[in-house]
A and B are shown apart, each in its own frame.
Chain A
Amino acid sequence: MEKVLILLGTKKGAFILEGDKQRRSWALKGPFCNTWPIQHVAADPATGTIYAAGGNAWFGPAIWKSTDLGETWTHSSAGLSYPEGETPIAAAWSLAQGRDALYAGVEPAGLFKSTDEGETWKHVSGLRDHPSREHWQPGGGGLILHVIVQHPDDPKKLWVGISSAGVFHSADGGETWEPRNSGTRADFNPEDQRYPEFGQCVHSLALAPGGGERLYQQNHCGMYRSDDGGRAWTSIEAGLPSTFGFPAAAHPRDPDTLFLLPLNGDIKGRYMPDAKAAVWRTRDGGSTWTALRNGLPQQDAYFGVLRQAMATDRLEPAGVYFGTGGGALFASADEGESWSCLAQHLPAISSVETLVVES
């Protein structure tokens, strides 16, 4: 019998919501990770090992690990550092279980990998060797590497998102990198510099399933799709209530389905548009959009949802989950058609991921 775990990173520790396969009955466990601020909790679906990336103001960055579905945790930051004299790492921000290694993104922006399940870390230095690095500018959340994507069929192909340096791609396992931002806007730049090679404020990246190189991107300035691994991006924001939002979540099986959570705008409070909550879904690669509101608050919804705080599960039909800055967790077991609130009083939610395991 399968069970579903919703993995939550929050401002005050990691939490796990554990539910049955029908996704009707849920129980909350936590807080874990000694109530450290946790930016991302993610699992290795093959082993069930859960990792949590964070940073504590006293004790610095670390990656936490649990091999028993959250019952016990250890932490390590062995090797998770830049050379002496460089600005020290403040926190680990993102995780991705690749085929060849576990990857972690940190602040200030850089990429690390572990080939011993998070016990020790090695700097993927090629990214910070890129000549654009001296021009990378921090976004509102800092100069953070907040998303890592590996191609499932070719572990040498990596994409990362850095705010606000943009999307970078490596085809050689991280040795060399190139910016992949063509077609994405930087509306905050002077009018004649709105399509730079890098410097865009990417908010999230999602690789569509199916084995291709289709990527979706939620940017500070628009929503985009690329069918060629990010060489060229096309706007898919027509039909959405704004061009601003943070998370993007791909469907587990359908490359044409994507879930977004547009907010009202970057200078308007970053709330739900008209204070009415909705997840927006496309079934055709971003050509048309449907607002999914059934069960979500339709008045006074003055919350935001952060970049890593929406996810799908791999069940049929797919579950969709998002967590708010106010500590509420909403879930749908039917691909967004209907929603329920699973928790209301958690710390500010930084990230949401899922893990389906045999109970």
Chain B
Amino acid sequence: MTAQDRVGGGATAGATVSVVLPRALLDLFPGSEREVVVPAGTLAEVIAALDQRWPGMRDRLVDSTPRIRRHINVFVDGRRVALDTELSAGAKIYVLTAISGG
């Protein structure tokens, strides 16, 4: 996956995407929601938006490398994506806890 790839449907600048979060993450942030819509063009922007809404959430999903934590998987359209992956308007992003981390 490169920054040139764009996943999740047609491209629209300044558009929103929806994110589905795992239960174990929701348990760490009282008041957080299973599915949220945020304005973002890359996965990094998605996570920044989540962190703004629920401070500290970025640290749970991203390590200091920085990259998505080893046992967290993020999928869009069935493809694993990275922080610099560009997203299309309306994309649905699934954040999953990997079975390997359990």
Contacts and interface: CB of A to CB of B under 8 A. Distances in A.
Contacts of B100: 57
A296 B24 CA distance: 39
Contacts of B59: 60, 62, 77-78, 80-81
B28 A78 contact: no
Nearest to A34: B27
A62 B61 CA distance: 12
B22 to A, nearest CB: 8
A85 interface: yes
A75 B28 contact: yes
A58 B63 contact: no
B56 interface: yes
A246 to B, nearest CB: 27
A77 B56 contact: yes
A331 B63 CA distance: 40
A82 B24 contact: no
Contact of B65 (A56, A57, A84): A84
A22 B25 CA distance: 41
B4 interface: no
A81 B28 contact: no
Contacts of B101: 56-58
B69 A81 contact: no
B65 A85 contact: yes
A131 interface: no
Give the residue among A56, A78, A80, A89 with the most B Cβ atoms within 10 A.
A56
A59 B66 contact: no
A344 interface: no
Given A58-B71, A78-B59, A84 B64 contact: yes
Interface in B20-53: 24-25, 27-28
A145 to B, nearest CB: 17
B80 interface: no
Interface SS, B side = loop
Contact of B98 (A34, A58, A81, A84): A58
Interface residues of A, number: 20
Contact of B28 (A34, A80, A85, A88): A34
A141 interface: no
B64 A59 contact: no
Interface in A28-85: 34, 56-60, 62, 75-78, 80-85
B63 A60 contact: yes
A82 B71 contact: no
A76 to B, nearest CB: 6
A358 interface: no
A86 interface: yes
B64 A57 contact: no
Contacts of B28: 34, 59, 75
Given A58-B71, A58-B72, A75 B97 contact: no
B60 interface: yes
Contacts of B71: 57-58
17 contacts: A34-B27, A34-B28, A58-B72, A58-B98, A58-B102, A59-B61, A60-B60, A60-B63, A76-B56, A77-B56, A77-B59, A80-B59, A81-B59, A81-B63, A84-B65, A84-B66, A86-B64
Given A34-B27, A57-B102, A58-B69, 14 more contacts: A34-B28, A56-B101, A57-B71, A57-B100, A57-B101, A58-B25, A58-B72, A58-B101, A59-B60, A59-B69, A60-B60, A75-B28, A82-B64, A86-B64
Shortest 3 CB-CB distances between A and B: which pairs?
A88-B63, A57-B101, A81-B64
